[in-house]
Amino acid sequence: MKFSRLHRSLLASMLFASTFFACASAQPDQRATGTSTGASTSATAAVERNPARLAHWEEVEAFIDEMTHKHGFTRAQLQNTLRKTRHNARAVQLMQPAPPGQARSWQAYRARFVEPVRINAGVAFWDRHAQALSRAEQEYGVPPEIIVGILGVETVYGQQTGKFRVMDVLATLAFDYPDAPNQEARKRYFRGELENTLLLARESAIDPFALYGSYAGAIGWPQFMPGSIRQYAVDFDGDGKIDLRNSAVDAIGSIANFLVQHGWKTGQPLVFPAIVDEQSGKGWQSFIGQGLEAKFSLTELEAGGVVLPLAPPPGLAYGLIDLQNGAEPTEYWLGTNNFFAITKYNRSFFYAMSVIDLGRAVRAARAG
């Protein structure tokens, strides 16, 4: 069968998805993907002839150079590893930004996580690991309900840790992140996480391809990125190794350590309800969108038209949290630095409030 030049170009583009990481400098028939067929040779050759993808190969080669110079890997090691890495189109699809103008609903988001399955599973988890949770509170100052809330939102207490091969999704996002205004910054971030994955595997003497996780490369019970595992994870069960994939106790201690390293203060409250006086013209809008940080005094907030039904402690800094509800009125809260420490886990007000609400619901169910 004969193909036009256009058809050949389209065929090469389609073949790219299954052969993205066969290194340009390697022999194409040495690529390992779980099966070995003659088709892989012709497919790789087609990709290498596709000029639209040449930049990707240059980036992969630059990454290999950097890893050999910084960390002492050999080119053969990395080329062999990257030949086994597969492009994951699903990860690219899931990273696509939401359509502009799409309404966000806090109540709909909250309902996904603060619900009977997670609450009941949280009670069982807390009962089973009460001693480790208590020890984490004593050593780090993080209450059990916050750790329980994070594990419930992230993986339903280890039930949903992800089925994506971490090497595949991180390499895909490192070199083929979807078009977006922050594309280059996101590619740099995922290249850093790919680097950390290779280092983590070497340090832990594990096969990097044995790591499975989310479509963004998050791993284990607490869904730590590889860089966070290397920097914040702890051996909380005392067995001589850190294992966030199989040890709930390591996950408990690691979450507590992560929060402390990101600003958690023992005994500090979290959130207080707030009302904005939209008719006052006092400029409360200036408190919105000021980053993941508590930076305003109560005096400043009240002068700007923020009304406080309760009386938060006056000596702390606060941030104004806006939880949008689509066509319904926005919900407002004041958050302390402990609230914003949770947003360092996932950069979302919705996420942090869901963690808090789920933890409170589990605590109430357990007490009742």
Catalytic residue list: 154
Give the number of C-alpha atoms closer than 13 A to the C-alpha of residue 18, restricted to the C-beta side. Answer: 15
> Residue 258 is encoded by which pair of tokens?
């992560």
The residue type at 241 = K
Q: What is the DSSP string of 265-303?
A: -TT---EEEEEE-TTS-S-GGGGTT--SS--B-HHHHHH
Would you say 260 and 140 are in contact if contact means Cβ atoms under 8 Å apart?
yes
Would you say 352 and 343 are in contact if contact means Cβ atoms under 8 Å apart?
yes
Would you say 153 and 114 are in contact if contact means Cβ atoms under 8 Å apart?
no
Answer positive or negative: Cα dihedral of 288, 290, 293, 298.
Answer: negative
In whole angstroms, give the CA distance from residue 337 to residue 263. 7
Helices (H) and strands (E) in the chain, counts: 16, 6
